[in-house]
Amino acid sequence: MLEKLLAVIATWIMDVISSMGYGGVVLLMAIESACIPLPSEIIMPFAGFLVSKGGMTLFGIALAGAIGCVVGSIPAYYVGMFGGRPLAEKYGKYVLISKKDLDMADRWFATHGEIIIFIARLLPAVRTFIAFPAGVARMNMTKFIVYTFVGSFIWCGVLGYVGMKAGEHWEDLKVYFHESHYVIAALGLAFVAWYVWRHFKNEH
């Protein structure tokens, strides 16, 4: 059941990017950064694959992804600012964010300060919910946006580059794989499965 659901999500992600282009990348990365576990590990490599086919540019998808991350992170920031930790704990479970996740984000923010917003944007999983403690700490909004944008631009660019290179060498790779989008989806779904498993493990 879970595998079928994840496959549907992966197919939907690819359809959105294929039909909407840069706008689809902005939309999907905004959803991912609003603490909804929609994997950038599917979104950006597939966008990169389309770059290799001439539909978009690497700079363009990295920029679109970073803009989406900023747009999605701002609501999460304000949830942290006005709702505080209790609200995040109460509703976080509905988007697979556990108390341990929030504890880790708080600890990192307290230890490393505001620069952790930039660093966390380069890390899987924690990048999704790091905006919460920034809001709780009432971090300067301008700094929050700048750190989020720069870190996300790098993250999206790297994932997009991987997808682009896979597309450029697809003639060599298709000896081992039949459909490129299935490969990208499989990698992304593996990450989602790990994320879901990690959430339920942290809950116990």
DSSP structural state of residue 9? H
In whole angstroms, give the CA distance from residue 72 to residue 121: 13
| Domain coverage including residue 44 | 2-202
Question: What local confidence, expressed as pLDDT, does residue 88 receive?
Answer: 62
Task: Answer yes or no: is pLDDT of 8 > 50.
Answer: yes
In whole angstroms, give the CA distance from residue 66 to residue 81: 22
In whole angstroms, give the CA distance from residue 155 to residue 69: 10
In whole angstroms, give the CA distance from residue 88 to residue 56: 37
Which residue would you say has higher pLDDT here, 168 or 23?
A: 23
Give the pLDDT confidence of 147-162 residue by residue, as tens digits. 999 999 999 999 999 8
Question: What local confidence, expressed as pLDDT, does residue 178 receive?
Answer: 43
In whole angstroms, give the CA distance from residue 105 to residue 2: 27
Question: What local confidence, expressed as pLDDT, does residue 199 receive?
Answer: 47
Give the pLDDT confidence of 14-67 residue by residue, as tens digits. 889 889 999 999 999 999 888 776 778 788 988 998 898 887 999 999 999 999
* Band of residue 137 on the pLDDT scale cut at 50, 70, 90: confident
Give the pLDDT confidence of 106-135 residue by residue, as tens digits. 777 777 777 888 888 887 766 777 787 788
Q: How many structural domains comprise the chain?
A: 1
Give the list of residues 6+ apart from residue 172 with CB closer than 8 angstroms, or none. Answer: none
In whole angstroms, give the CA distance from residue 169 to residue 174: 9
In degrees, to the nearest 5, what angle opens at C-alpha 163 toward C-alphas 128 and 130?
10
Cβ count near 15 (within 10 Å): 11
Q: In 3-state terms, what secondary structure has residue 35?
A: coil
Tell me which residue of 126, 123, 150, 115 sits closest to 202, measured CA to CA: 126
Asked if residue 25 lies in contact with residue 43, where contact means CB atoms within 8 angstroms, the answer is yes
